[in-house]
């Protein structure tokens, strides 16, 4: 049977391209790491790394074994997180993952309601993009996380248990004095001559805009690429263009923009807001309590046609 510590050494060395760097990461000397690598190659019955003038390169067998090592490392980290969660349960610690839109809308109200009834539980929140949050769940860095998906990128992971909290529709953001307000609900096909504000850095909403416009028969003309929703709203208010956004992302709406729904026959994508946890770990009592609170809060945000005043009431409630 392969030695697990040596397997992890190979994995680190393959990722870093250096046996010395792998040794430092694992708290070993370089000579000890070299000796352990030689023993692993004896166990494997074949060379696993090529020694280069500067660093190492895994052989095909070494690369395949290093990939297995990544899975082993992930499971070991998850096991450590399991032990930590049970040890820390009496101290009341709950690790949550979230993404920016949820952290600015659902989560603050949920945290407020949770703390009213569970004053002794400490909560830690980790933020990330979708791939990072899924990895945190797999490794046990967080016990549960808020995720999102669209029809074309469903979170389909048998290692995760998913709870559908609410559907978050796409809305059109226009200036407060826009003539488009007279044509609400909006037909996307009638917006081909508009300039658009788009989210930058390959943001998912940029993909939503392009997919929706192409399905309506035109390519969007981009006037500005923003880095957050407040910036996008400011550019819309200034008359530079109009924008698409998930409704939940606009709970802090400027007074000089308006949100318009799309007509029911328009394929404006709706994203799902999900609560996820790893199926390999039983939910702790704090996690179960938080899940109940999030389901309650989600029902309030799911109400159709929420305007600015109503959203403010939801956040204060």
Listed residues 51, 79, 107: the one ending a domain: 79
What pLDDT, on the 0 to 100 scale, is given for residue 81? Answer: 74
pLDDT recorded at residue 236: 96
User: pTM score, two decimals?
Assistant: 0.68
Question: Rounded to an integer, what distance in angstroms lies between the CA atom of residue 1 and that of residue 238?
Answer: 66
Tell whether 175 and 162 lie within a shared domain.
Answer: no
Q: Cα–Cα distance between 48 and 14 in angstroms, integer?
A: 10
Q: How far apart are CA 134 and CA 147, in angstroms?
A: 8
Of all helices (H) and strands (E), which one includes residue 168? strand 160-175
pLDDT category, 305, cuts 50, 70, 90? low
On whether both 156 and 277 belong to a single domain, the answer is: yes
Mean pLDDT of the residues in the chain: 88
How many domains is the chain built from? Answer: 3
Using pLDDT thresholds of 50, 70 and 90, give the confidence band for residue 119: confident
Cα 271 to Cα 254: distance, rounded to the nearest angstrom? 23
106 touches 306 (CB < 8 A): no
Same domain flag for 158 and 280: yes
pLDDT digits (tens, 9 = 90+) for 61-107: 999 999 999 999 988 888 887 676 555 444 568 999 999 999 999 99
Ranking 37-41, 75-79, 151-155 by mean pLDDT, the lowest is 75-79
The pLDDT tens digits for 126-140 are 999 999 999 999 999
Show the domain range for 34. Answer: 4-79
pLDDT score at 304: 56
pLDDT of 177:
94
109 vs 27, 96, 102, 146, 312, CA distance in Å? Answer: 43, 14, 10, 14, 11
List pLDDT tens digits, range 159-207.
Answer: 999 999 999 999 999 999 999 998 878 888 899 999 999 988 678 888 8
Contact 205, 245 (CB under 8 A): yes
CATH of the domain at 28: 1.10.10.10
Does the pLDDT at position 315 exceed 90? no
Q: What is the CATH number of the domain that holds 257?
A: 3.40.190.10
């Amino acid at each position: 049977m392969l030695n697990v510590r040596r397997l992890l050494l190979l994995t680190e060395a393959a990722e870093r391209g250096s046996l010395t760097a792998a040794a430092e990461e694992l708290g070993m000397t370089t000579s000890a790491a070299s000796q352990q690598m030689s023993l692993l190659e004896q166990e494997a019955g074949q060379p696993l790394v090529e020694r280069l003038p500067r660093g190492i390169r895994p052989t095909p067998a070494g690369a395949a074994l290093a990939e297995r090592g990544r899975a082993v490392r992930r499971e070991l980290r998850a096991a450590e997180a399991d032990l930590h969660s049970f040890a820390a349960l009496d101290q009341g610690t709950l690790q949550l993952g979230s993404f920016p839109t949820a952290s600015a809308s659902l989560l603050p109200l949920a945290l407020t309601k949770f703390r009213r009834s569970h004053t002794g539980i400490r909560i830690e929140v980790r933020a990330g993009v979708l791939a990072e949050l899924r990895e945190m769940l797999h490794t046990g860095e967080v016990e549960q996380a808020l995720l999102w998906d669209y029809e074309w990128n469903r979170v389909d992971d048998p290692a995760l248990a998913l709870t559908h909290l609410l559907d978050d529709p796409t809305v059109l953001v226009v200036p407060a004095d826009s003539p488009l307000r007279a044509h609400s609900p909006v037909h996307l096909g009638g917006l081909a001559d508009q300039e658009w504000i788009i989210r930058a850095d390959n943001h998912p909403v940029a993909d939503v805009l392009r997919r929706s416009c192409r399905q309506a028969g035109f390519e969007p003309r981009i006037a500005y690429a923003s880095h957050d929703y407040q910036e996008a709203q400011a550019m819309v208010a200034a008359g530079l263009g109009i924008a698409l956004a998930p409704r939940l992302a606009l709970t802090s709406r400027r007074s000089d923009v308006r949100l318009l729904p799309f007509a029911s026959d328009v394929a404006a994508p709706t994203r799902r807001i999900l609560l996820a946890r790893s199926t390999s770990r039983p939910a702790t009592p704090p996690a179960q309590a938080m899940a109940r609170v999030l389901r309650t809060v989600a029902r309030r945000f799911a109400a159709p046609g929420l305007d600015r005043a109503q959203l403010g009431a939801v956040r204060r409630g």
